[in-house]
A = this chain, B = another copy of it.
Amino acid sequence: MTAEIICVGTELLLGNILNKNAQYLAQQLANLGIPHYYQTVVGDNVTRLKQVVEVAIARSKILIFTGGLGPTPDDLTTETLADLFGVPLVENPEILEDIARKYAIRGRVMTPSNRKQAFIPQGATVLPNPAGTAPGIVWSPTSNLHILTFPGVPSEMQRMWQETAVPYLKTLGFGQEIIFSRTLKFWGIAESALAEKVSAFLNLPNPTVAPYASRGEVKLRICAKATSLAAAEELIAPIAQQLQTIGGLNYYGQDDDSLASVVGQLLQQANATLSVAESCTGGGLGQMLTDVSGSSRYFMGGVISYDNQVKVSLLGVDPQALIQEGAVSSTVAAQMAQGVRSRLGTTWGLSITGIAGPDGGSPTKPVGLVYIGLAQANGTVQTFEHRYGQDRSRSLIRHLSACTALDALRRKLLDSQF
């Protein structure tokens, strides 16, 4: 029995609001193990709403509506459904009483238009709305078809979902099986390359494995269907283990892990501290590191050496190197990393200098050219050159630079464990 989400509202078609309801309901359906293959958005229009419902009935058995339950004339979900199934609307005295009571509490007078909200299709059951005036319905107009309606206001919809819809869906036998997923995260490998390496896993029936990519990061989502969380985890664990092994050093963490949180854990395991020197990222690397609560245990701080003078005065970069090799060079990256490490007295010093664009590039040093420096306690310093390409945005080049710097340190910390 599969579900379909139908969101009703012209404001969605105009792009005035983001459809967060669809995402919430999608997650909830997954948790209950209810397959869900389609989502539709349609405006406040009877003809088009009817057409959408007719299409949905032919392919789905549980229809979940959001929106169109309010008191105004353009709220027409309930009427349209009743009309479509040839059932009259009947006034429900409990709803009427509930609306009147809620208006009284707020010191407002109920208007005739509110009375409209008390009419539901004959044979439907009220889905109470504890947080607002517009109730929904639960209705089986034909055998093996289940209709649930919710208001469009996310807070009301979510409370109704939890308090009344979930218990109802459980009486239909759902929620016995759950869908649980784990996401493995990789850095330093392209989506296509990783997908080829793990191609044998991409057609598994349960758990399924699917690759995603965004802003330089590649993810593999392992998704299991099982009768309990423990059973789902048991299905996932051996697959996750194999995928991690295939990913090798490119695998860095899972689910809520970030490169910064993983680096933080490795630093703490090694009893080590970190400082940063940033040019083109302008503080973005420090911000990523301090996004992690508790990062003060290993992150001491750093220098934003945006201007060359600051590279000299606060980091001790050689002015000759700036003149001869330029601020965006391996030499300057190395000196920045060493400078911040020695001045802040940390185990590691990590630096970034590059050209984030859109201006500032040259034929020999194009936009997207970035140097990362990594200085360590024994006095050695390594540098890494990256070319992110001139077709990427300033924001993306800065993001990739900070992530790649963290990744360089992560690999080094892992190396030193062996």
- Chain A interface (Cβ < 8 Å from any Cβ of B): 10-20, 22-30, 36-45, 48, 51-52, 55, 59, 70-74, 102, 105-108, 111-114, 130-131, 153, 155, 179, 181, 190-193, 195-196, 199, 202-203, 210-214, 221, 223, 275-276, 278, 280-287, 289-291, 293-296, 299-307, 309-310, 313-314, 343-345, 357-359, 387-389, 391-396, 398
Contact A313 B344, CB 8 Å, known A37-B42, A393-B155: yes
Decide if B310 touches A300 in the complex (CB within 8 Å): yes
Decide if A313 touches B18 in the complex (CB within 8 Å): no
Complex Cα distance A289/B287, Å? 13
Write the nearest CB–CB distance from A24 to chain B, whole angstroms.
7
Decide if B214 touches A153 in the complex (CB within 8 Å): yes
Decide if A38 touches B37 in the complex (CB within 8 Å): no
Complex Cα distance A148/B48, Å? 23
Complex Cα distance A392/B153, Å? 13
Complex Cα distance A303/B213, Å? 34
- Stoichiometry, copies per complex: 2
Given the complex, which residues of B lie within 8 Å of A211, measured CB to CB? 72, 74
Write the nearest CB–CB distance from A72 to chain B, whole angstroms.
4
Please, could you name 12 A-B residue pairs with CB atoms under 8 Å apart, sorted by A? A15-B25, A15-B27, A18-B23, A38-B48, A70-B192, A106-B387, A278-B286, A283-B285, A283-B304, A296-B306, A301-B314, A314-B343
Complex Cα distance A52/B365, Å? 48
Given the complex, which residues of B lie within 8 Å of A130, measured CB to CB? 391
Decide if B41 touches A45 in the complex (CB within 8 Å): no
Instruction: Among A44, A70, A179, find the residue whose CB has the most chain B CB atoms closer than 10 A.
Output: A70
Given the complex, which residues of B lie within 8 Å of A14, measured CB to CB? 26-27, 30, 179, 181, 223
Complex Cα distance A300/B305, Å? 7
Decide if B24 touches A39 in the complex (CB within 8 Å): no
Identity of the chain B residue whose Cβ is nearest the Cβ of A7 in the assembled complex: B39
Contact A59 B70, CB 8 Å, known A26-B13, A38-B42, A304-B276: no
Given the complex, which residues of B lie within 8 Å of A214, measured CB to CB? 153
Identity of the chain B residue whose Cβ is nearest the Cβ of A20 in the assembled complex: B18
Given the complex, which residues of B lie within 8 Å of A287, measured CB to CB? 281-284, 287, 398
Identity of the chain B residue whose Cβ is nearest the Cβ of A297 in the assembled complex: B307
Write the nearest CB–CB distance from A224 to chain B, whole angstroms.
12
Identity of the chain B residue whose Cβ is nearest the Cβ of A357 in the assembled complex: B293
Residue from the list B71, B179, B193, B283 in contact with A302, Cβ < 8 A: B283
Residue from the list B37, B213, B291, B294 in contact with A48, Cβ < 8 A: B37
Decide if B19 touches A23 in the complex (CB within 8 Å): yes
Complex Cα distance A339/B155, Å? 36
Identity of the chain B residue whose Cβ is nearest the Cβ of A153 in the assembled complex: B214
Decide if A17 touches B13 in the complex (CB within 8 Å): no
Contact A221 B296, CB 8 Å, known A102-B391, A285-B283, A290-B283: no
Write the nearest CB–CB distance from A282 to chain B, whole angstroms.
3
Contact A41 B42, CB 8 Å, known A24-B15, A72-B192, A344-B313: no
Decide if A10 touches B40 in the complex (CB within 8 Å): no
Given the complex, which residues of B lie within 8 Å of A48, measured CB to CB? 37-38
Decide if A358 touches B293 in the complex (CB within 8 Å): yes
Decide if A359 touches B294 in the complex (CB within 8 Å): yes
Given the complex, which residues of B lie within 8 Å of A310, measured CB to CB? 275, 300-301, 344
